[in-house]
Each structure stands twice: as C-alpha cells, then as structure tokens.
C-alpha cells in the first residue's frame, strides 16, 4: 500500500476500474494522492504487479464483509462414530440406531464401526450382515457413502445424510421431528395478575 510498493513498474487501475497503463510506482502514487485516495497492490505476483487506486478503509471493510458472508455459507460436516460389536444385543442396537438417525438428521455423516476381537475374526460374515442390516435400517434418512469395508480388526460403513429422504422422514414422523431435529425451548410462564 502506498510507499510500501517496491516494484520497478506497476500496472495501474483507477477507482472506476479502468486501465491506466504501466508506470513507475512513484507516478502511480502521485496520481492516487491527487485524487485523495490510496494506492493498493491487489496482485503482487503479476508481471508487473497490479495496483488500484481506491479508499483503503472502504476496501478493507468490503473484504471483511465478503469473508463474513463466505464463512456463513460454509457448512461444517463432521463424522460421528457409532461403535458396534458382532454380539451387540437388539435393544442396544436399537439405541445406537436412534443415535445414528439423530446424527444424520442433524446433518452429520455417520461411521458405523464394528470391532472384532479374538475368535470373532473367524465370523466376519456375521459382522458384515449386522452392518448391512443397520445401514438398511437407516436408509430412510441416509445413503451409503462407503460400503462395508474391512480395516484391520474393524469393519465399517460410512453413511451420509440425504436431505430429500430426511424431509420425507420428518413429514411422516411429525411427532418425532421436534425431539430429533431441534431442542425444545423452555416454557415461559406468563406473569400472574394481582387481585386487588
């Protein structure tokens, strides 16, 4: 910015976005000062570097505003892990599926992780069937992103939320929707009128 530009020549753009040509930075700075504005290097890696005449405060504010808008549009998708065992009982399996469904409805990916120990490694087909059953049970809100895959002593499936399926699921289960998708707001009591 201004005196901090050390290139031999710069390509100058005026405040209206029109190209003014290639010139020494001293000359470009003099033009900017005559107009009561700053000389800002916008493309330092270009040959020659590109500078623009503009109000530095306004430029900084607009950049900050653009970054804020870009940050708002970003969505962070995390991967939630649900641990299973080949001999997980049915009730525990139902609870874990409920948790996985809640994670998917909230927009997170779910990794169903089945861990084998000792002799269970000899019966990997049982684990595979369990993962297929659980992922099939969650297909009403998700799609399988990575099919069952073995990694060491673990087998896993990665499921991603499907917005269209989630919308249909929430429509069909209106009584479940408030419990799963959003926390309930605390009830506020109205102040009682005093009898006089």
* DSSP states of 56-110: HHHHHHHHHHHHHHHHHH-----EEEEEE-TT--HHHHHHHHHHHHHHHHTT-EE
Fold of 2-55: Ubiquitin-like (UB roll) (3.10.20)
What pLDDT tens digit does each residue of the chain (196 aa) get?
666 777 788 888 888 888 888 888 888 888 888 888 888 888 888 888 888 888 888 888 888 998 888 888 777 778 899 999 988 888 999 999 999 999 999 888 999 999 988 888 888 888 889 989 998 988 888 999 989 989 888 999 999 998 888 888 888 887 665 454 443 434 444 445 555 5
Q: What is the DSSP letter of 111?
A: E
Residue 154 CA to residue 149 CA, distance in Å, equals: 8
Would you say domain 79-181 falls under CATH 3.30.110.10? yes
Spell out the domain ranges in the chain.
2-55, 79-181
Residue 67 CA to residue 61 CA, distance in Å, equals: 10
Bridge-based pairing state of the strands 154-161 and 38-43? unpaired
Bridge-based pairing state of the strands 10-13 and 142-151? unpaired
């Amino acid at each position: 910015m201004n005196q901090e530009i050390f290139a031999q020549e710069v390509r100058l753009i005026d405040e209206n976005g029109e190209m003014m040509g290639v010139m020494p930075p001293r000359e470009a700075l003099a033009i900017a000062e005559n107009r009561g504005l700053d000389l800002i290097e916008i493309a330092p890696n270009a040959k020659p570097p590109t500078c623009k005449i503009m109000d530095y405060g306004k430029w900084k504010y607009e950049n900050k505003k653009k970054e804020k808008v870009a940050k708002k549009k970003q969505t962070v998708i995390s991967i939630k892990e649900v641990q299973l065992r080949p001999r997980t009982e049915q009730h525990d399996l139902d609870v874990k599926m409920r948790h996985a469904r809640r994670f998917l409805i909230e927009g997170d990916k779910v990794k169903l992780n089945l861990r084998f120990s000792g002799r269970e490694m000899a019966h990997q087909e049982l684990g595979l069937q369990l993962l297929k059953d659980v992922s099939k049970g969650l297909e009403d809100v998700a799609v399988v992103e990575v099919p069952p895959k073995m990694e060491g002593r673990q087998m896993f499936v990665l499921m991603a939320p499907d917005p269209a399926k989630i919308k249909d699921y929430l429509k069909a289960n209106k009584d479940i929707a408030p419990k799963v998708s959003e926390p309930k707001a605390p009830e506020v009591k109205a102040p009682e009128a005093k009898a006089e």
